[in-house]
Amino acid sequence: MKKGENIFKRKDGRWEARYIKGYELSGKIKYGFCYGKTYKEAKEKATKHKAALLAGKPTPQTGTRHRFAFYCNEWLRLRKSKIRESTYIKYDTVLEKHIKPKLGGCFPLGITTGVVDDFTRELLFEDELAVKTAHDILVVLHGVLKYTAAQLPGIFPAVEINYPKESRRETRVLSRDEQTQLVRYLLTDTDACKFGVLLMLLSGVRIGELCALKWGNIDLKEQTIRITATLQRLHDTAMESEGRTRVVIGAPKSDTSVRTIPLTDYAATLCRKFAVRNAAAYILTGTENYMEPRSLQYRIEKYTKECGLEGVHAHTLRHTFATRAVEVGFEIKSLSEVLGHANTTITLERYVHSSMELKRSNMDKLAAVGL
């Protein structure tokens, strides 16, 4: 390596050239990196990048070393002069709040149709966004993917986006008889996972929250559950794991998701019956090994089919809990806090479903006054 050049040969035989890309607010230098099979190739690439920076242009593409966040930023930068300021702000918000946190760390070749489908499901069922909101986010993602494909011709794979559609059908909620049927099944030959599914039905916790829940989060004396974490599978940002995913246990989706849920006497009795001594043990396994959401979803589908129920998912149990709470006169603000919603609007619009039993009860009230 020549003095001052920042070009050296790596252990894998390639040459790496480093150049100053910019500075952080703290004054710390931000470096860019270029690679080549030879010293000359790496140096030429670094020279082009430095020249582009001086000219105020985007750095030239040299393969797929840039993460997807880079293409998000460049797409928005190029669109800025062609759209209204309000539209620019909207796109920037979508990128910063939804797309970059979940997909920005991926390499472009790791973003496939399957990855986008998972992203869509997270928007709808983990972030609990409306179908229209998720659709608008996917429209922005489509624009970035199209731009990325143009920058990587013949390299970037075709990615299909399956846009969610508004459904006229009401969200699946178990009737009282179906709920009794499922509870009876779960209490037969009950293991840790069956107990966890039952606890979801009795508390309304999210699937990721249940997967992260440990026995140390349950206070049997106070009869409460403390939600402090969620478990989810995210796309791995490590270069050597391009396109792969990893399980992450972290803080819940929002401040209001960190909450304490009071248990009914019935739920508390079940917790005492199936409790394990190890506070670090996960509810769903009874050990210090976790179960991830997609495995739990598979179990839920298996359990419900075995007891004769169809079309039941994890969020069906959460919706069912909310519906039962409304039927017995649960105050909406309290229910919203138990569910971990940011406001009561989410609770009312997406989680409060009027069951046939409640509709009949209300009609009977009309009949009582002669209507």
Confidence of residue 202 (pLDDT cuts 50, 70, 90): very high
Same domain membership, residue 127 and residue 39: no
Q: Is the pTM of this model over 0.85?
A: no
Query: Which of 66-70, 303-307, 346-350 is predicted least confidently?
Result: 346-350
For the chain, what is the mean pLDDT? 83
The tally of domains found in the chain comes to: 3
- Using the 3D structure, point to which of 61, 76, 106 is the last residue of a domain: 61
Measured between alpha carbons, how far apart are the two ends of the chain, in Å? 92
Of residues 129 and 301, more confidence is placed in 301
Confidence of residue 2 (pLDDT cuts 50, 70, 90): low
Q: What pLDDT, in 10s, does the model give residues 128-138?
A: 788 888 999 99
Residues in the chain, overall count = 371
Please check whether residue 329 lies inside any domain of the structure. yes
Q: Quick one: average pLDDT of 35-64?
A: 67
Residue numbers of the domain that contains 185: 176-362
So what's the pLDDT on residue 320? 93
**Are the CB atoms for 340 and 259 separated by under 8 Å?**
yes
Q: Quick one: average pLDDT of 148-153?
A: 88
Q: Quick one: average pLDDT of 61-77?
A: 79
**Are the CB atoms for 319 and 347 separated by under 8 Å?**
no
So what's the pLDDT on residue 227? 95
- Using the 3D structure, point to which of 109, 140, 167 is the last residue of a domain: 167
What's 153's domain CATH number? Answer: 1.10.150.130
Same domain membership, residue 106 and residue 20: no
Whether the per-residue pLDDT at 266 is higher than 70: the answer is yes
So what's the pLDDT on residue 358? 60
Same domain membership, residue 185 and residue 157: no
**Are the CB atoms for 291 and 285 separated by under 8 Å?**
yes
Q: What pLDDT, in 10s, does the model give residues 168-187?
A: 456 789 999 999 999 999 99
Report the C-alpha gap between 194 and 296 in whole angstroms: 10
Same domain membership, residue 315 and residue 329: yes
Query: Which of 191-195, 262-266, 293-297, 365-369 is predicted least confidently?
Result: 365-369
Same domain membership, residue 224 and residue 83: no
Main-chain dihedrals φ then ψ at residue 238, nearest 5 degrees: -75, 135
Q: Quick one: average pLDDT of 226-254?
A: 70
Same domain membership, residue 290 and residue 185: yes
Query: Which of 64-78, 279-293, 304-318 is predicted least confidently?
Result: 64-78
Same domain membership, residue 286 and residue 357: yes
Q: What pLDDT, in 10s, does the model give residues 81-96?
A: 888 777 888 899 899 9
Task: HSE, CB side, 13 Å, CA atoms: give it for residue 103.
Answer: 31
From residue 369, alpha-carbon distances to 211, 362, 365 in Å are 49, 12, 7
- Let me know if 311 is exposed, middle or buried by CB neighbors in 10 A (0-12, 13-18, 19+): exposed
Whether the per-residue pLDDT at 351 is higher than 70: the answer is no
Same domain membership, residue 181 and residue 150: no
Query: Nearest CA to 277 among 202, 222, 214?
Result: 214
Same domain membership, residue 209 and residue 286: yes
Please check whether residue 37 lies inside any domain of the structure. yes
Same domain membership, residue 273 and residue 185: yes
Same domain membership, residue 57 and residue 85: no
Whether the per-residue pLDDT at 26 is higher than 70: the answer is no
Whether the per-residue pLDDT at 59 is higher than 60: the answer is no
So what's the pLDDT on residue 242? 44
